[in-house]
Chain A
Amino acid sequence: MSFYDYSFLFAFLPLILAVYYLIPQKFRNAWFLAASLIFYFFADMNFLPVLVTAALVNHLLGSFLDKARRPAPRKALLAAGIVFNLGLLCSFKYLGFFAETLRLLPPFSQFFVSRSALPIGISFYVFTSMSYLVDLYKNQVRPANSLTDFSAFLTMFPHIISGPIVRFREIRDQFQNRVFDLRKINAGIALFIMGLAKKILLADTAGYFCDPVFALPHPGFFPAWVASFLFSAQIYFDFSGYTDMAIGIALLLGFEYPQNFNSPYKAATINEFWQRWHMTFYRWLRDYLYISLGGNRKGTARTYFNLMVTMLLGGLWHGASWNFVIWGAFHGVLLSLERQFGLRSAPQGKLARVVRTGFTFTIFTFGLGVFFKCRDMAHSLRWAKSLLIMDGLGITMSWELVAALAVCMAVIFGFKNSWAQKNNTKPYWIAFLVACLVLSLAVAYTKGGMPFLYARF
């Protein structure tokens, strides 16, 4: 059940909201939990037990961790939690990949583990659970009041599929105290519609034009770059559209999630880019991985090492494939270079900023097209050749492609982002939102939307 499915928008969500606001406040968390479980049941019935088990085990570990006073048992409980969660993630997501990699070595050539189906949202709820346990260990958050509260938090249907990665400490108080606020609801509606329009009108359109080019064996220089930029637009609109919808739905239910995108393509440096793109994920990596490894406190060499490890694992999180690992490494190298040459902060002058922004966007697009979009190394290599003019200029250049790109770039660089517009209640904006809603649904129900790209992570 996608957020823009007819059944979600005209049956599930209205029913959930109606009951939610009709019942007394003390039952709302339980109702929210039930709604989330029903949502997950429709999305991925087979793996519902995995999600329920994760919620139960993490809640139990959290309770024990809170009660334990001596450091040794606390450490042991945290270790058990991390092993459990990483074990869960690895067994579903990475075991087949590790086995395939191991098979490349002659002694293990017969070693075989088939890749299992991936439970929807596992990468997200495992990270959420781990941050809960680490925060408890560091005494940065009080444990959940009840199993219901914790399960409701972990399985929250707005973010269970593709994030944002919400930490318990960020919304713990909201589980106790949520009041009806029309401002929040309106902001939620606005974000939801903007996210819907981003997904259906922009992301799917960009995908419609760039996918055929990516399927070509030798696209050539110009089509490859246009398609790569279109894919950058697609993934941004797709993922930020999803999180806008998720944050919007959470607001309708009274929860305030943190911002997840802040016009990332307007960033002037890669460092700044990562502070604006999938912000909750980047913060997670920074706080629980980079800083845990020592961050920049243990000397220069160690800092670069930590940076590379963080970005490599960040890449691997996106998918069990070498392409994603290399994509992570690519960004690790870029961040290291910026650090080494003192280029981490954005330049002051207007022109310098424009140039740096263009360069950052282009280099990000290069990595995204070559390592992220291409299915395997051979495809990546072919694509990189085209981008680097080693495969001709390309003969089939369609104006539709350029027009689609122009529209996407105009929206990306010419407007404020949805987060900045969520509280706008001016009449022209209302009319714009209504038009977006009608047009998006008309397109979604006539042609059908593509699946969300980030749902597969």
Chain B
Amino acid sequence: MSADAKQIRFFAILFAAWFALFALSLNFRPPDYRPWNRLRRGPFNFKPNGRVVMKVCGDLGWIKDVKELQFPREQVFTTDPWGYRNPGVIENPRVVVSGDSYPAGGGLNDTDTLTVRMSELMGEKIYNFCGEAKFAPSEFLADPRFKAHPPQVLIYSPVYRMITPFPIEKSWRYRGKIVYLDDYTRLLISFKLRLDRDNFLAHLFKDLASRVSPKLIGGLSVYVDQVTVQGEPKLTLSLDVLRLTQTPQERQLHMVVTSLVKFDEELKKRGVRFIYAPSPEPGSIYPEFYPKAESVRLQNPPFIDLVFAELDKRGIEYIDLRKDLIANRFPYLYLPDDTHWNPRAVSIAAKTIVDYLARK
């Protein structure tokens, strides 16, 4: 073979390998390829008074797209006349739970949400008022229903990684905002991107890439970890995404506490008792299951402890849901292919909150 022919062979094979990888990354799987499944990411059009029965897998199972790690299940998702996830109309509730997808029941059936479990334990209807953690406080303050009839207690329960400073807007434009897990899937993707770069155009570009690259060779995406708990594979967000590797300064501890204090002041003016009960993620309950290199970068003390210490100083009530969850950490407390907790964890959290309310 001549020298030129060797060069051409070299180039042709390497180019073919590169192209094959590119083609594979598009995840073209002929036997069960459904283009419309790619385009249509789920029933978005949740409206007030909606009820949808659907077969879903978890959000991480959806992102990762490896069949062996998807656990499809039936889910019923019902919204009330205001678009919040309540199976039925609840007028003038005494207790309202606000937060994001965790208390809203992301990945769970209507019968397994935090407010439903709390209602069962307390014998009265608890209102599920969950939207986006960052905007839920403003939405509560702006909601005409709660202006007219303030509840006695507001429990605010953002998930740990969503603990960020939030705005206090009393004139927030009221939208019948609903929570749907697919919104959160997208949020999570952009979340990791935000951690990587602080630059909006790079987000855009990487966001496009991130929709494709996780599917390369059927592998895990960069922001999803697979951990094995009691011999079973579980998908979870990586610790970097769960923000356990950021410093308190990076997470703006001071601003977070200031937001909570301001929110508490606004609620006090209306005579509403404020209880802060953030929802723990698997990273806080099972840190030892994550890859070694990541666990050495874990914050010590955890960010959440610093937040609680600051709230102690300012006399704001809070509930540390971790203790009871850690005490009952086996069997696994989260859905196997989802970012969210499972019905067992919800029951434990509901009991912790109800016990706290009964005590105080």
Contacts and interface: CB of A to CB of B under 8 A. Distances in A.
A57 B209 CA distance: 36
Interface stretch (B30-38, B198-206, B306-314): B198-206
A71 interface: no
B292 A208 contact: yes
Contact of B206 (A7, A193, A430, A438): A7
A5 B199 CA distance: 16
B216 A441 contact: yes
Given A189-B11, A212-B293, A445 B222 contact: yes
A448 interface: yes
- The B contact surface, by secondary structure, is helix
Interface residues of B, number: 38
Contact of A430 (B10, B199, B216, B217): B10
A182 B202 contact: no
Nearest to A204: B293
Contact of A10 (B8, B14, B22, B219): B22
A215 interface: yes
Nearest to B225: A447
| Chain A interface size, under 10 / 10 to 19 / 20 to 34 / 35 or more | 35 or more
B335 interface: no
Given A42-B202, A447-B222, A437 B11 contact: no
B219 A446 contact: yes
B9 A425 contact: yes
Contact of A185 (B11, B17, B210): B11
B296 interface: yes
Contacts of B9: 425, 430
A6 B212 contact: yes
Contacts of A41: 201
Contacts of B291: 208, 447
A410 interface: no
A64 B209 CA distance: 45
A430 B17 CA distance: 10
Nearest to A193: B14
Q: Is the interface of A mostly helix, strand, loop or mixed?
A: helix
A398 to B, nearest CB: 10
A445 B9 CA distance: 28
A9 B4 CA distance: 26
B179 interface: no
A180 B199 CA distance: 36
Interface string B220-233: 11110000000000
A60 interface: no
16 contacts: A1-B202, A10-B21, A42-B199, A42-B202, A45-B199, A182-B4, A182-B8, A182-B11, A189-B10, A193-B14, A211-B296, A212-B292, A438-B217, A445-B213, A445-B214, A448-B222
Interface of B: 4, 6-11, 13-14, 17-18, 21-22, 25, 197, 199, 201-202, 205-206, 208-210, 212-214, 216-217, 219-223, 238, 291-293, 296
Given A437-B18, A441-B216, A447-B222, 7 more contacts: A6-B216, A45-B199, A186-B14, A212-B296, A425-B6, A425-B7, A437-B17
